[in-house]
Copies of this chain bind each other. A is one copy, B any other.
Amino acid sequence: MHTGEGSSAHDPHRDIPEATVARLPVYLRALTSLAERNIASCSSEELATAAGVNSAKLRKDLSYLGSYGTRGVGYDVDYLSYQIAREIGVTHDWPVIIVGIGNLGQALANFSGFSSRGFRTVALLDAAEPMQGRTVAGIAVRPFADLAEIVTAEQVSIGVISVPAAAAQDVADAMVEAGISSILNFAPAVLNVPDGVDVRKVDLSIELQILAYHESRKAAEAEESVDDGSGEGVSA
Protein backbone atom coordinates (compact mmCIF):
# COMPACT_ATOMS: atom_id res chain seq x y z
CA MET A 1 0.00 0.00 0.00
CA HIS A 2 1.62 3.21 -1.14
CA THR A 3 0.92 6.62 0.32
CA GLY A 4 -0.09 9.26 -2.07
CA GLU A 5 1.48 9.21 -5.50
CA GLY A 6 3.35 12.50 -5.38
CA SER A 7 0.86 14.49 -3.31
CA SER A 8 2.04 16.34 -0.21
CA ALA A 9 0.32 15.44 3.05
CA HIS A 10 -1.87 18.46 2.73
CA ASP A 11 -2.63 18.77 -0.93
CA PRO A 12 -6.20 18.20 -1.94
CA HIS A 13 -6.01 15.03 -3.97
CA ARG A 14 -6.54 11.87 -1.99
CA ASP A 15 -8.79 10.47 0.68
CA ILE A 16 -12.02 12.39 0.79
CA PRO A 17 -14.18 10.60 3.37
CA GLU A 18 -17.17 8.79 1.93
CA ALA A 19 -19.59 10.75 4.10
CA THR A 20 -18.20 13.94 2.61
CA VAL A 21 -18.40 12.62 -0.94
CA ALA A 22 -22.07 11.89 -0.40
CA ARG A 23 -22.69 15.51 0.58
CA LEU A 24 -20.72 17.25 -2.16
CA PRO A 25 -23.59 16.90 -4.65
CA VAL A 26 -25.92 18.48 -2.12
CA TYR A 27 -23.61 21.47 -1.77
CA LEU A 28 -23.37 21.72 -5.51
CA ARG A 29 -27.13 21.83 -5.82
CA ALA A 30 -27.38 24.45 -3.09
CA LEU A 31 -24.77 26.58 -4.86
CA THR A 32 -26.60 26.25 -8.17
CA SER A 33 -29.75 27.41 -6.47
CA LEU A 34 -27.93 30.43 -4.98
CA ALA A 35 -26.44 31.27 -8.37
CA GLU A 36 -29.91 31.18 -9.93
CA ARG A 37 -30.96 33.79 -7.41
CA ASN A 38 -27.98 35.91 -8.48
CA ILE A 39 -26.19 35.51 -5.20
CA ALA A 40 -22.47 35.83 -5.93
CA SER A 41 -21.01 34.92 -2.57
CA CYS A 42 -22.09 33.33 0.69
CA SER A 43 -20.87 32.39 4.15
CA SER A 44 -20.52 28.80 5.34
CA GLU A 45 -23.56 29.47 7.50
CA GLU A 46 -25.72 30.47 4.53
CA LEU A 47 -24.57 27.65 2.31
CA ALA A 48 -25.00 25.18 5.14
CA THR A 49 -28.58 26.29 5.65
CA ALA A 50 -29.30 26.00 1.94
CA ALA A 51 -27.86 22.49 1.97
CA GLY A 52 -29.59 21.39 5.16
CA VAL A 53 -26.44 20.71 7.22
CA ASN A 54 -24.65 22.61 9.97
CA SER A 55 -21.86 24.99 9.13
CA ALA A 56 -19.08 23.16 10.97
CA LYS A 57 -19.76 20.07 8.91
CA LEU A 58 -19.84 22.06 5.71
CA ARG A 59 -16.50 23.72 6.44
CA LYS A 60 -14.87 20.44 7.39
CA ASP A 61 -16.18 18.85 4.21
CA LEU A 62 -14.90 21.69 2.02
CA SER A 63 -11.54 21.61 3.77
CA TYR A 64 -10.90 18.18 2.22
CA LEU A 65 -11.02 19.77 -1.23
CA GLY A 66 -8.70 22.65 -0.43
CA SER A 67 -9.04 26.25 0.72
CA TYR A 68 -11.55 27.72 -1.63
CA GLY A 69 -13.05 30.30 0.74
CA THR A 70 -11.81 33.67 1.96
CA ARG A 71 -11.44 34.14 5.72
CA GLY A 72 -13.57 36.90 7.06
CA VAL A 73 -15.64 36.89 3.86
CA GLY A 74 -17.02 33.57 2.71
CA TYR A 75 -17.19 31.67 -0.57
CA ASP A 76 -17.55 32.84 -4.15
CA VAL A 77 -20.53 30.89 -5.44
CA ASP A 78 -19.33 30.28 -9.01
CA TYR A 79 -15.77 29.49 -8.03
CA LEU A 80 -16.79 27.01 -5.33
CA SER A 81 -19.37 25.44 -7.65
CA TYR A 82 -16.70 24.81 -10.22
CA GLN A 83 -14.28 23.36 -7.68
CA ILE A 84 -16.88 20.94 -6.34
CA ALA A 85 -18.02 19.95 -9.83
CA ARG A 86 -14.42 19.29 -10.76
CA GLU A 87 -13.84 17.21 -7.63
CA ILE A 88 -16.95 15.13 -8.30
CA GLY A 89 -15.99 14.82 -11.93
CA VAL A 90 -19.06 16.40 -13.51
CA THR A 91 -17.37 19.18 -15.44
CA HIS A 92 -17.95 17.00 -18.48
CA ASP A 93 -21.02 14.82 -19.08
CA TRP A 94 -21.17 11.12 -18.30
CA PRO A 95 -22.99 8.86 -20.73
CA VAL A 96 -25.54 6.68 -18.96
CA ILE A 97 -27.76 3.81 -20.04
CA ILE A 98 -31.01 2.75 -18.43
CA VAL A 99 -32.03 -0.90 -18.50
CA GLY A 100 -35.68 -1.67 -17.80
CA ILE A 101 -38.13 0.75 -19.36
CA GLY A 102 -41.19 0.04 -17.25
CA ASN A 103 -42.97 2.76 -15.29
CA LEU A 104 -39.90 3.66 -13.32
CA GLY A 105 -37.50 3.46 -16.24
CA GLN A 106 -39.71 5.80 -18.22
CA ALA A 107 -39.87 8.23 -15.32
CA LEU A 108 -36.07 8.15 -15.11
CA ALA A 109 -35.69 8.68 -18.84
CA ASN A 110 -37.94 11.71 -18.60
CA PHE A 111 -36.28 13.10 -15.51
CA SER A 112 -34.67 16.37 -16.51
CA GLY A 113 -32.43 16.50 -13.45
CA PHE A 114 -30.43 13.64 -14.93
CA SER A 115 -29.36 15.55 -17.98
CA SER A 116 -28.97 18.89 -16.24
CA ARG A 117 -26.52 17.60 -13.65
CA GLY A 118 -23.74 16.00 -15.61
CA PHE A 119 -25.39 12.98 -17.19
CA ARG A 120 -26.56 12.15 -20.67
CA THR A 121 -28.87 9.22 -21.28
CA VAL A 122 -27.43 7.60 -24.40
CA ALA A 123 -29.65 4.52 -24.55
CA LEU A 124 -32.74 2.86 -23.14
CA LEU A 125 -32.78 -0.93 -23.15
CA ASP A 126 -35.55 -3.38 -22.50
CA ALA A 127 -35.82 -7.11 -23.07
CA ALA A 128 -39.58 -7.16 -23.72
CA GLU A 129 -40.79 -7.47 -27.32
CA PRO A 130 -43.61 -4.93 -27.00
CA MET A 131 -41.18 -2.18 -25.99
CA GLN A 132 -39.05 -2.48 -29.13
CA GLY A 133 -39.38 0.41 -31.51
CA ARG A 134 -41.05 2.62 -28.95
CA THR A 135 -39.58 5.98 -28.10
CA VAL A 136 -39.39 7.35 -24.57
CA ALA A 137 -38.27 10.90 -23.85
CA GLY A 138 -37.12 11.13 -27.42
CA ILE A 139 -34.87 8.09 -27.16
CA ALA A 140 -35.56 4.82 -28.97
CA VAL A 141 -35.88 1.71 -26.82
CA ARG A 142 -33.41 -0.92 -27.96
CA PRO A 143 -33.17 -4.65 -27.26
CA PHE A 144 -31.28 -5.73 -24.17
CA ALA A 145 -29.05 -7.82 -26.40
CA ASP A 146 -27.47 -4.63 -27.77
CA LEU A 147 -26.03 -3.80 -24.35
CA ALA A 148 -22.38 -4.68 -24.97
CA GLU A 149 -22.33 -2.99 -28.36
CA ILE A 150 -23.76 0.26 -26.96
CA VAL A 151 -21.49 0.31 -23.93
CA THR A 152 -18.44 -0.06 -26.15
CA ALA A 153 -19.56 2.36 -28.82
CA GLU A 154 -20.59 5.10 -26.39
CA GLN A 155 -17.90 4.44 -23.78
CA VAL A 156 -20.52 4.04 -21.06
CA SER A 157 -19.28 3.39 -17.54
CA ILE A 158 -22.48 4.09 -15.58
CA GLY A 159 -25.63 1.98 -15.84
CA VAL A 160 -29.05 2.30 -14.21
CA ILE A 161 -31.07 -0.82 -13.42
CA SER A 162 -34.83 -0.43 -13.23
CA VAL A 163 -35.98 -3.97 -13.96
CA PRO A 164 -37.91 -6.25 -11.59
CA ALA A 165 -35.91 -7.73 -8.71
CA ALA A 166 -35.78 -11.17 -10.27
CA ALA A 167 -33.93 -9.90 -13.35
CA ALA A 168 -31.60 -7.47 -11.61
CA GLN A 169 -28.63 -9.78 -11.03
CA ASP A 170 -28.59 -10.94 -14.65
CA VAL A 171 -28.67 -7.36 -15.86
CA ALA A 172 -25.86 -6.44 -13.47
CA ASP A 173 -23.77 -9.37 -14.69
CA ALA A 174 -24.29 -8.34 -18.29
CA MET A 175 -23.40 -4.74 -17.49
CA VAL A 176 -20.18 -5.73 -15.76
CA GLU A 177 -19.34 -8.09 -18.59
CA ALA A 178 -19.88 -5.24 -21.06
CA GLY A 179 -17.49 -3.01 -19.15
CA ILE A 180 -19.71 -0.89 -16.92
CA SER A 181 -18.13 -0.17 -13.54
CA SER A 182 -20.76 1.88 -11.72
CA ILE A 183 -24.36 0.78 -11.23
CA LEU A 184 -27.34 2.59 -9.80
CA ASN A 185 -29.80 -0.09 -8.78
CA PHE A 186 -33.51 0.56 -8.29
CA ALA A 187 -34.46 -3.10 -8.09
CA PRO A 188 -35.17 -4.35 -4.57
CA ALA A 189 -32.43 -6.96 -4.69
CA VAL A 190 -28.87 -7.32 -3.45
CA LEU A 191 -26.41 -7.33 -6.36
CA ASN A 192 -23.19 -9.29 -6.40
CA VAL A 193 -20.50 -7.59 -8.41
CA PRO A 194 -16.74 -8.04 -8.62
CA ASP A 195 -14.28 -5.72 -6.89
CA GLY A 196 -13.79 -2.49 -8.73
CA VAL A 197 -17.47 -2.17 -9.58
CA ASP A 198 -19.47 0.32 -7.52
CA VAL A 199 -23.12 -0.22 -6.76
CA ARG A 200 -25.48 2.26 -5.17
CA LYS A 201 -29.03 1.27 -4.45
CA VAL A 202 -32.23 3.23 -4.19
CA ASP A 203 -34.98 1.26 -2.54
CA LEU A 204 -38.33 2.89 -2.09
CA SER A 205 -39.85 0.43 0.33
CA ILE A 206 -36.76 0.49 2.51
CA GLU A 207 -37.04 4.25 2.83
CA LEU A 208 -40.69 3.97 3.75
CA GLN A 209 -39.96 1.27 6.29
CA ILE A 210 -37.35 3.45 7.96
CA LEU A 211 -39.98 6.18 8.23
CA ALA A 212 -42.47 3.65 9.57
CA TYR A 213 -40.02 2.65 12.30
CA HIS A 214 -39.71 6.21 13.54
CA GLU A 215 -43.43 6.75 13.12
CA SER A 216 -44.11 3.73 15.34
CA ARG A 217 -41.82 5.16 17.97
CA LYS A 218 -43.56 8.50 17.90
CA ALA A 219 -46.87 6.76 18.44
CA ALA A 220 -45.43 4.74 21.32
CA GLU A 221 -44.00 7.87 22.91
CA ALA A 222 -47.29 9.71 22.58
CA GLU A 223 -49.00 6.91 24.45
CA GLU A 224 -46.39 6.93 27.20
CA SER A 225 -46.54 10.66 27.69
CA VAL A 226 -49.89 10.49 29.39
CA ASP A 227 -47.82 11.14 32.52
CA ASP A 228 -44.64 12.47 30.83
CA GLY A 229 -44.75 15.82 29.12
CA SER A 230 -41.44 15.70 27.21
CA GLY A 231 -41.81 15.58 23.46
CA GLU A 232 -38.60 14.54 21.81
CA GLY A 233 -38.55 14.91 18.07
CA VAL A 234 -36.48 13.17 15.48
CA SER A 235 -35.61 14.76 12.21
CA ALA A 236 -33.31 14.27 9.25
Task: Using CB atoms and an 8 Å cutoff, list the residues of chain A in contact with chain B.
Answer: 1-2, 5, 21-22, 24-26, 28-30, 50-52, 87-90, 94, 96, 102-104, 106-108, 110-111, 113-114, 116-119, 157-158, 181-184, 188, 190-191, 193-200, 202-218, 224, 228, 230-236
Contact = CB atoms under 8 A, between A and B. Distances in A.
Contact of A198 (B107, B119, B231, B236): B236
A21 B184 CA distance: 22
A89 B212 contact: yes
Contacts of A212: 88-90, 94, 118-119, 158, 182
Contacts of A104: 107, 111
A4 B153 CA distance: 61
B157 A209 contact: no
Contacts of A28: 209
A29 B181 CA distance: 26
A5 to B, nearest CB: 6
Nearest to A109: B103
B103 A215 contact: no
A141 to B, nearest CB: 15
Contact of A205 (B113, B197, B211, B215): B113
Contacts of A87: 213
Contacts of A198: 211, 214-215, 234-236
Contacts of A29: 188, 205-206
A236 B107 CA distance: 25
A50 B165 CA distance: 13
B89 A197 contact: no
Contacts of A182: 211-212, 214-215
Contacts of A183: 211
B114 A21 contact: no
Contact of A25 (B197, B205, B234): B205
A52 B190 contact: yes
A202 B206 CA distance: 11
